[in-house]
Amino acid sequence: MVCVTQQKNCDRLIKYGREFIGEETGELTILHVAHSDYKFLGHSKEGEALEYLYEKALEYGAGLTVVRSDDIIGTFVSHVRKNKVDYVIMGESRESAAHSNVIMQLESKLAGLANLIIVPA
């Protein structure tokens, strides 16, 4: 499972995920979780970003799931459990405060469930 934002540079993460699992060995899933306050279809640029994600999912033969949630970490973990995900791929965080760093929070919640792979920026 590749966790992405709407940024167009997420292509590198999706490409990494496809190369990591290979063409034959596993199913590639892309997950984008938007906070419920975030209006991701209200602006043309946001709509374009979602369309871009959809096109990349098609290009790499991946499934795309877009979810609204107030609990982003919990949604990631729930998706891992529900879909029996073995590997979670994310881009390196630029956040410096440990308490707000999504990767550190997710890593502790995924312990024993799935392997977390961080792709450097």
Of all residues in the chain, the percent with pLDDT exceeding 70 is 83
Question: What average pLDDT score do residues 59-85 get?
Answer: 93
Question: What average pLDDT score do residues 92-118 get?
Answer: 79
Pairwise CA distance, residues 111 & 6, whole Å: 26
Q: Which range (7-16, 30-39, 64-73, 85-94) has the least confidence?
A: 30-39
pLDDT at 49 exceeding the cut of 90: no
CATH number for the domain formed by residue range(s) 2-119: 3.40.50.620
pLDDT at 27 exceeding the cut of 70: yes
What are the phi and psi torsion angles at 112 (to 5°)? 85, -10
